Amino acid sequence: MLHAASKDATAAQGTSKAQSTDTAAFDKNLAQFQEQMKTMQAQMNQIRQTQDPKERQKLLQQHWATMQSAMTTMHGMWGSGMMGHGMMGQGMMSGGWGHMGGYYSRLSPEQLRQRQYMTDQYLQMQQEMMNNMMWQQQYSTQPPASPQ
């Protein structure tokens, strides 16, 4: 019994080290995503201000390309940071949410905090991307505003 407990503690430490690495990679990608969001915001400001339909179309295409790049960054964050070590990968692939309880019960409090941090950040990124997609659609279908 004592041997099994020390084996579990060693496994938890190994998982904790992997988690820290994932959080560091996640944070690096998060910084990249935030820069892409700043670029997208600047592009949206230019789109709002332009009166030239051709210029507007060009800016919308640039915004779309930046948005695609940001989505690729997000995908990489989800894949390496959160799916890579079991949060979604094994639990979801082996039978849905019902099997996730066992996964979470094996995490340390620090690992749970890291998962919550990454989830919170990821959900915020999803919201920002949805906003940009809606702006993209709105400005793609709406003629430029007339100068006042």
Tell me if 17 is assigned to some domain: no
Tell me if 98 is assigned to some domain: no
Q: Helix, strand, or coil here: 1?
A: coil
In which domain, by residue range, is 63 found? 28-69+106-141
Tell me if 133 is assigned to some domain: yes
Q: Kindly report, residue by residue over 115-146, the tens digit of the pLDDT.
A: 889 889 989 999 999 999 999 998 888 776 66
Tell me if 83 is assigned to some domain: no
Helices 2-49 & 109-141 angle (0-180, nearest 10): 20
Rounded Cα–Cα distance for residues 97 and 93 (Å):
9
Exposed (0-12), middle (13-18) or buried (19+): which is 26, by Cβ within 10 Å?
buried
Q: Kindly report, residue by residue over 72-90, the tens digit of the pLDDT.
A: 988 887 765 554 444 444 4
Q: Kindly report, residue by residue over 12-33, the tens digit of the pLDDT.
A: 444 444 445 578 888 888 999 9
Rounded Cα–Cα distance for residues 77 and 96 (Å):
21
Tell me if 39 is assigned to some domain: yes
The structural domain count of the chain equals 1
Which is nearest to 39 in space by CA: 141, 132, 137, 145? 132
Tell me if 41 is assigned to some domain: yes
Q: How far is CA 116 from CA 20, 26, 108, 126, in A?
A: 13, 13, 12, 15
Q: Check pLDDT > 80 for residue 97.
A: no
Tell me if 13 is assigned to some domain: no
